[in-house]
Structures are given as structure tokens and as C-alpha cells.
Structure 1
Amino acid sequence: MDEKKGSAATRAKNKYNAANYDRLYPYVPKGRKAVYEEAATKAGVSLNDYIIKALDEKVERDKKEREGG
């Protein structure tokens, strides 16, 4: 018999996420996750949003440095 894991809603969400997002698995030193979570909470955003914004800002700074600006 064909057994499917998870509910239909879970399978649909997983399918959507697989089609629309890339996954990153950053490893951070012990204790740093709590620091990042606290900073995100203070900023009023999720840890994921906080990390994405930090990465985007870093990419833009590096780009400007390379362009001499």
C-alpha cells in the first residue's frame, strides 16, 4: 500500500518551499545562535529575516567596495 508521510497540507507546503526557496545550513559557534536570536528579537524580525538582511547588506557593501565607491 502507498503510505504518504504527513498531511496533505504539510506535503503542499513542502512542495511549495522546495520550488521557491534554497536552503542554507550555516554552522555557528556554540552560544552565537542565542546572540543572533536576541538581536533579531530586538529588531522585531525573525531570525531568518535578520540573517537574510545581514547577508544582503554585506553583499551590497562588498559590491560598493569593489566598484570603488
Structure 2
Amino acid sequence: MGKTSTTVKNRWNVKSYDRLAINVPKGRRNDIEAHAQSKGLSVNGLVGELLRADLNMTEEEWRRKPDAE
């Protein structure tokens, strides 16, 4: 993959996503990764699924930008 491709992907990510960092108790990372994998998800996918459920949002609502409402 060339530098141009990486640059384009980075620009897309900055434009399309907000980044969050979370802290979990030491030693829990492997448990969380295993749990996500058992559901066929990445950790990011698991967190997104849990947030969508807690916010009572459909997949479409979750992906829609708030200013598009």
C-alpha cells in the first residue's frame, strides 16, 4: 500500500469518524477482546453494538450524522 492510499484513508477517517479512547482495569483487555470475538465482532464493533442498544437506536440512526436529522 502506497503513501497516497494511506493519506486518503486517513483523510476519510478524520472526516467520517470521531475517536474515543477508553480505559479498562488492567488485565481486562484480553477478556474484552475474547468476548467480542465470541460474538464475531471487533472490540470497536462490540462497543458500537452496546451503545446503539443502550441509546435505543437502529443501525441507520446510529450511522446518520446528528446534523442530518
Task: Output the TM-score relative to the length of structure 2.
Answer: 0.72
Which amino acid counterpart does residue 43 of structure 2 have in structure 1? L
* Deviation of 1:50 (Å): 0.6
User: How many aligned residue pairs are there?
Assistant: 55
Name which of 5, 24, 33 aligns with 2:29: 33
Unaligned runs of 5+ in 1: 1-5, 61-69
Task: Please list every run of at least 4 consecutive aligned residues from structure 1 whose deviation after the TM superposition is greater than 2 angstroms.
Answer: none
Name which of 17, 22, 33 aligns with 2:18: 22
> Highest CA radius of gyration, 1 or 2?
1
Alignment of 1:9 onto 2:5: yes
What secondary structure is seen at the aligned counterpart in 2 of 1:45? coil
Identity of matched residues, %? 36
RMSD: 1.4
What secondary structure is seen at the aligned counterpart in 1 of 2:55? helix
Unaligned runs of 5+ in 2: 57-69
Deviations 1:23-51 (A, max 9, x none): 00111111111111000110011111011
